Amino acid sequence: MLTVHHLNNSRSQRILWLLEELGMPYDIRRYQRDPKTNLAPPALKQVNALGKSPVLQDGERIIIESGAIIDYLIRRHGAGRLQPDMSSAAYDDYVQWLHFAEGSAMLPLMLDLMIGRLGDAGAPLRPRIDDQLATYLGYIDKALAGRDYLLGTEFSGADVQMSFVAELAHARDKLGACPNVTAWLTRFQARPAYQAALVKGGEDYNCIFR
């Protein structure tokens, strides 16, 4: 049985969603953030020495990092679903999006979140961060022009991995110039599996963005 070590209001929500899309049975082991610090509890380090979520447990195997977990689940349990054929050019695009989410797009978003809490002390960083946000979000918006999902008409694991980027950008009010990203966000949040994962994950998922 697959087990998701799930920290409330975290990136592990993506993994619950993917499992719902795949229709796979799984267990959830829940961890709650400290209400004062918003940090993960020490108990999470017993399964991941970094104390981070998500963590997927498949028997004795432990996998960390959202992109690696998404790749693992689809390759080993997807039965050909939610990724292009590995010999196709579309597969290369798919892999690129899996890495782009955390490798590029999330850095300026997280910096924006952090300097927003610094007040005037973070002001010198604001122009550079805003420029990077406009560049990365504009890149995603252009890629989605005329498309329902990142790879075209077909939903894939790339949309799951990139979803956190769109949700954080929306929560930070950064999508005003990105109508295609906004439409994509609305589209994937309406999927039944996404809604089912929200119920499984519990609490207000978007509260982490505020």
Q: What is the pLDDT of residues 7-22, one digit of tens each?
A: 988 889 999 999 999 9
Mean per-residue pLDDT of the chain: 93
Instruction: Report pLDDT for 207.
Output: 44
- Is the per-residue pLDDT at 164 higher than 50? yes
- Do residues 108 and 102 make contact, with C-beta atoms less than 8 angstroms apart? no
DSSP E strand stretches across the chain:
2-7, 26-31, 55-58, 61-64
Number of H helices, E strands in the chain: 8, 4
Q: Are residues 35 and 22 in contact, defined by beta-carbon separation less than 8 angstroms? A: no
pLDDT computed for residue 123 by the predictor: 85
Query: Model confidence at 204, in pLDDT bands (50, 70, 90)?
Result: low
Confidence of residue 210 (pLDDT cuts 50, 70, 90): very low
Q: Which domains can be identified in the chain, with CATH numbers?
A: 2-82+193-209 (3.40.30.10), 89-191 (1.20.1050.10)
Q: In sequence order, which residues have a C-beta less than 8 Å from that of residue 50 and are 6 or more positions away?
A: 64
Give pLDDT, residue 24: 95
pLDDT for the residue numbered 39:
87
21: Cβ contacts below 8 Å, ≥ 6 apart: 82, 155, 160, 191, 193
User: What would the mean pLDDT of 166-183 be, rounded to a whole number?
Assistant: 96
For range 78-88, the mean pLDDT? 95
What is residue 46's DSSP assignment?
G
| pLDDT for the residue numbered 203 | 62
Q: Which percentage of the chain shows pLDDT scores above 90?
A: 81
At residue 113, the pLDDT reads 87
The pair of three-digit structure tokens given for residue 81, joined into one six-digit string = 């679903």
Q: What is the pLDDT of residues 113-122, one digit of tens each?
A: 888 888 877 7
Buried b (16+ CB within 10 A) or exposed e, 43-78: ebeebbeebbbbbbbbeeeebbbbbebbbbbbeeeb
Tell me the whole-structure pTM to 2 decimals: 0.93
Work out the average pLDDT over 61-74.
97
DSSP E strands: which ranges in 53-204? 55-58, 61-64
